[in-house]
Amino acid sequence: MTTTPPPHTRTYFATDIFETCIVDPTSDVAFLAELMDGVLMLAEEDEAGQAWCEEQGYLGYTSYASLNDLPQRISAFAELEKRLVKAANGFAKELGFELGSHKLSMDSFWVNVLDPGAGHSGHIHPNSVLSGTFYLDLPEDTSAIRFEDPRLPFMMNSPPLKSDISPDRKRFIYIQPSVGNALFWESWLRHEVPVNMADEPRVSISFNLG
Ligand SMILES: [Fe+2]
């Protein structure tokens, strides 16, 4: 004789955001300093990047549109890239990607110096599998990264949610990572950096893997 199961809810379609330490800020201070020197050098010397930022109204500096060979230019970036690729492939495994004998590799890699008062509006990273950001300097009161529920465009008639709802049901999630850590997510996941309210620049390195 079969018994009727009690009412139950199944939850599917998970969206994962992975955070891991890439550079230990207590034991690896010299490496963090080397990365920061690299960023500051680029911000000072990359004239094409500076011009692009000015044209686009980007407050601060990004190498996004001007340089695509940072790991070849600066050895600390090459080491960082290696660590990020390793962590990303661990995340890909967790996500259950069937990659055969292939591994994800770095497609692009750029630095961001977001000045006080600057933000980066909502966007996705096209033509990539995984994306992420490594955090180099997060001054006090700087913005957290905000992710949005990828199903948002379908929610034309969804009522608002209660404020005490559990984080996995929220429509927007704010994550404030630690310096030396990186966040990884699938590249289709829309995210933004709200205005940097700190008195100092917010410094990070973003990347795409394919
Ligand atoms: Fe982004």
Instruction: Specify the pLDDT at position 76.
Output: 96
* Distance of CA 123 from the midpoint of ligand 1 (Å): 6
* Distance of CA 191 from the midpoint of ligand 1 (Å): 6
* Distance of CA 119 from the midpoint of ligand 1 (Å): 11
Instruction: Specify the pLDDT at position 131.
Output: 98
Instruction: Specify the pLDDT at position 5.
Output: 87
CB within 8 Å of 171: residues ≥ 6 apart: 148, 149, 152, 155, 161
Q: What are the pLDDT tens digits along the chain (210 aa)?
A: 778 989 999 999 999 999 999 999 999 999 999 999 999 999 999 999 999 999 999 999 999 989 989 889 999 999 999 999 999 999 999 999 999 999 999 999 999 999 999 999 999 999 999 999 999 999 999 999 999 999 999 999 999 999 999 999 999 999 999 999 999 999 999 999 999 999 999 999 999 999
Q: Three-class SS string for the chain?
A: CCCCCCCCCCCCCCCCEEEEECCCCCCCHHHHHHHHHHHHHHHHHCHHHHHHHHHHCCCEEECCCCCCCHHHHCHHHHHHHHHHHHHHHHHHHHHCCCCCCCCCCEEEEEEEEECCCCCEEEECCCCCCEEEEEEEECCCCCCCEEEECCCHHHCCCCCCCCCCCCHHHCCEEEECCCCCEEEEEECCCCEEECCCCCCCCEEEEEEEEC
* Distance of CA 121 from the midpoint of ligand 1 (Å): 9
* Distance of CA 124 from the midpoint of ligand 1 (Å): 6
* Distance of CA 192 from the midpoint of ligand 1 (Å): 7
pTM of structure = 0.94
Domains, the chain, with CATH or none: 17-209 (2.60.120.620)
* Distance of CA 122 from the midpoint of ligand 1 (Å): 8
Identify the sign of the CA torsion 75, 77, 80, 84. negative
